[in-house]
Structure 1
């Protein structure tokens, strides 16, 4: 498989792109996994994720950790960054944001396994952490701990 074949259908990589106005408008792209016969874990960390409170419109902040064991597909990272940035003006509760991101990735990639940890900074003095995974991790694949400390002025 040549690089040209892998990346031929991408529309955002390598060029200027506009930040999507909403998660629904955001285009997530995938590329064939050139190591699909090897079990391995991919991690994306977004320590400055933002969305809006759907009631007050005030900004909410989270540290997201997304781990997945790919099957036939990999998510293209620029499209993931733009997708995550599209939540900046999106009003939703922490639970909805976190689980919606996971489900969108699962629908796109059909991974062997995926989990997300949404470590949200306090709202009203209470941090809310949201966790989702598709099932047990595949045997024989090293899945590191997410290692985000409990809230103590996170950082």
Structure 2
């Protein structure tokens, strides 16, 4: 039975090639099996990189994705490959952040999702981008993301 739930996965358990761009990245999902519980799932990517669309210089961020699953969980290896595909992608901080959120919402139809993208300074100004789908369900434990305001991000 467990194998049936995971039989459609193409990247987990094998050598998956790094996607050249977020558009080429394949996000995969598995059944959540949460039994009606509103458990929050957190993914933290402290070394996210993308490219400035104007200069081609790298931009760095600490990204935290929190979500309460509906029927689906994102498969973590596919998420890792998706996030690292931004290393070749040029876009502004706000666009990268919202593209990640949009892809996850489209894939998962979560009960609730929020993303916090804590971008390191370029030109002396850090840009932090936050978005969520709405209000989390009553009674759900939603801990703070725990990323400090910019003071060297450490």
The bucket for the TM-score relative to the shorter chain is over 0.9
2:17 matches 1:18: yes
Structure 1 residue ranges (4+ consecutive) displaced by more than 4 angstroms after TM superposition: none
Match of 1:27 in 2: 26
Correspondences of 1:4-153 after superposition (within 5 Å): 4-153=3-152
| Cα deviation 1:14-71 (Å, max 9, x = unaligned) | 0001100000000000000111411110000000000000000000000000000000
Deviation string 1:117-141 (CA, Å, 9 cap, x unpaired) is 0000001000000001000111111
Contact 1:36 1:72 survives alignment (8 Å): no
Aligned residue for 2:145, secondary structure, equals coil
**In the alignment, is the contact (CA less than 8 A) between 1:52 and 1:60 conserved in 2?**
yes
RMSD: 0.6
Number of aligned positions between the proteins = 154
In the aligned structure 2, how far is the partner of 1:36 from the partner of 1:18? 34
Write the distance in 2 (CA, Å) between the matches of 1:96 and 1:55. Answer: 14
- What TM-score does the superposition give when structure 1 sets the normalisation length? 0.98
- Alignment partners' CA distance in 2, 1:3 and 1:51: 36
Matched-pair contact (CA < 8 Å) for 1:36–1:70: no
